[in-house]
Every structure is written in C-alpha cells, then in structure tokens.
Structure 1
C-alpha cells in the first residue's frame, strides 16, 4: 500500500468520524429536548484534539518518517480497523438516540443491555482502542500508535469514570 493510498484510507476514516459528529449532534439535541443532562464537558475538547491528532499524526509520520508498508503487519491491522468501525457502528445502532460523543444522560431511560452491551459495559471504547493502535500500524506509524494509546488510556480513564458517575447519579435521583 502506497503512502498516498494510506492517506486516502485515513481520509475515509476522517469522513466516518465527521458522520459520527453529525449523528451525535442530532442525538444530543434529542437528548437535551428530553431532559438530558450533560456531564464531563471539560474532557470533551481534549478528546477531540486527541482523536484529530491520531489522524493527522498517522499521516504525517508515514510521509515525514517515510514509514514503509509491511504486508505482514499492514493487512491484519487494516482488518482490525474495519472490525473496529463495524463494532463502533454496532454500538451506535444499539444505543440509538442514547449514543453520543458527549456524555448526556436522559433521566428515565433504562441502561441498554443488548447488542455488544450484553458482554461489555463500554464496547465503543474497545473499538476506539483497537482503531488507535491499528490505524497507524497499517503503515507502520508506530510512534503515533504509542503516543495515542498512552494519551487515550489516560483520557478513557477520565471518560469512563465520568460516564459511570453520570449513570449512577441519575439512578440515585
């Protein structure tokens, strides 16, 4: 896979992310109209910057450091990228209007326990972690994969704690 083709792949992922934001904005408006409360606004900006940095960093590293495409690594990582996208959209479809890139919880709605949520509390973050490792490694951008993974681990610890606290506070109310 050439660097140009890899750049196109990352561009497709970026378009997918923009589609997510459109869906998220629609769901956020619905949630807020139905009494939803937003939690954790302070970590949302850094999360956007980090995820944008993943896309920009992967492409920049491939071009600037002239990272090679290694078929034995690149093809399995591409399969993992595709699988992570499938899992992400399974999560979005399962949560329906409750899915959002922000933490907005609508009082009175029950917690979803179907789809991938039957087995995991936060399956969307499995997709995020897998994509964060796999997308850069499709074209051996290992530095981006490491930096994103470390920063994402910290951010996800904040995010998951925020989501769990938000859900618990509404259950107590």
Structure 2
C-alpha cells in the first residue's frame, strides 16, 4: 500500500516535471538557446525509466517489504523533494532535464545554487538511493546509484563545458569560490 502510493506520486511528479521542462525548453530555444550533451540524454532518460521498472519488479516480484527504518528514509526522501522544488523554483525558466544553455545569460546564483553548483544532481542521487532502500530494494539501490555516478561523470562535464563557453559560469562559480 505505502509503496503504491509513494511510487504513484513520484511518477506523477516526474511526468509533471517533464511538462515543465518542455515548456522551459521551448521558451529558451525561442530566446536563442542551444542544447548540449544531446547524445547522452536518451541514455539518461532510459536509465531513469529502468530505475522505476527495476524498483517495481524488485518490490513486487521479490516481495520486498518496508524497511524497519522506512520512516527515516521517507523523511530524507521528503526533504529531497522540498529541495528539488527549491532547485526548480530557483532556476525558473532555466530549469530543464536537458542541458539547454542560453548564450550570454547570467548563471543563477540564488537558492541552493548559492552554495553548490549542481544541487539537483545531489538530490537525484539521494532519491535513487533512498527510495529503493525504503522498500528493501537493495539491488535497485546499488545498481542505479552506480549507474547515476557514471552518468554524472558524463553529464556534469558536458554541462559545465557548455556553461563555461556560453555564459558567465567561469566568473561566477570557478573564480568566486
């Protein structure tokens, strides 16, 4: 019961975020933005879809039960959701699931972006670990934590390269430490 409720809410949330991303992408492209890292994006999307499939399979087919510490893990997950919304709100029209860069735009330095360059990636990593652990889905937790680490070794450099080349990213984040 708890699993069905949680997974349904998360999936609906992700679908809603994709609608926001699509709207933001259209606006940014109309302003002259470009996409970077397009070759890895389908792999990342596939990884996230497989995460949900793996979680569903592991919980239902292997009859995983709630963790004895599920309330603690749920608390971490809910905090991550609040931080996720904070990231999206801080970036506003610049938030996207793709790497969409508007040349000559000033990078966002508010909200969690005051303190950390990629807070949303930290939140995603937390979710990919905590959500499966809530339901004792250890295989999914380990596999997708490792896959996400690998994906971030591709994605973050691609994003930073695009931002350095087209915005004031270097001045804001690398020179003003």
TM bracket, shorter-chain basis = over 0.9
CA contact (8 A) 2:77 2:130 kept: yes
| Offset of residue 62 of structure 1 | 1.0
Q: CA RMSD in A?
A: 1.2
Q: Does 2:49 match 1:52? A: yes
- Is 1:157–2:153 an aligned residue pair? yes
Q: Taking structure 2 as the reference length, what is the TM-score of the superposition?
A: 0.91
**Separation (CA, whole Å) in 1 of partners of 2:167 and 2:134:** 42
C-alpha deviation, 1:55, in angstroms: 1.5
Residue pair 1:7, 1:59 contacting (<8 A) in 2 also: no
Structure 2 unaligned blocks of 5 or more: 169-177
In the alignment, structure 1 segments of 5+ residues that lack a partner are none
**1:105-144 matches, cutoff 5 A:** 105-144=101-140
Aligned residues: 168
Q: TM-score, normalised by structure 1?
A: 0.93
- What stretches of structure 1 move > 4 A for 4+ residues in a row? none
Post-superposition CA distance 1:30-74 (Å, at most 9, x none) = 0000000110001111111111111121121011111121232x1
How far apart are residue 5 of structure 1 and its match?
A: 2.5
2:5 maps to 8
| Secondary structure at 1:42 match in 2 | coil
Cα pair 1:38 1:103 within 8 Å, conserved: yes
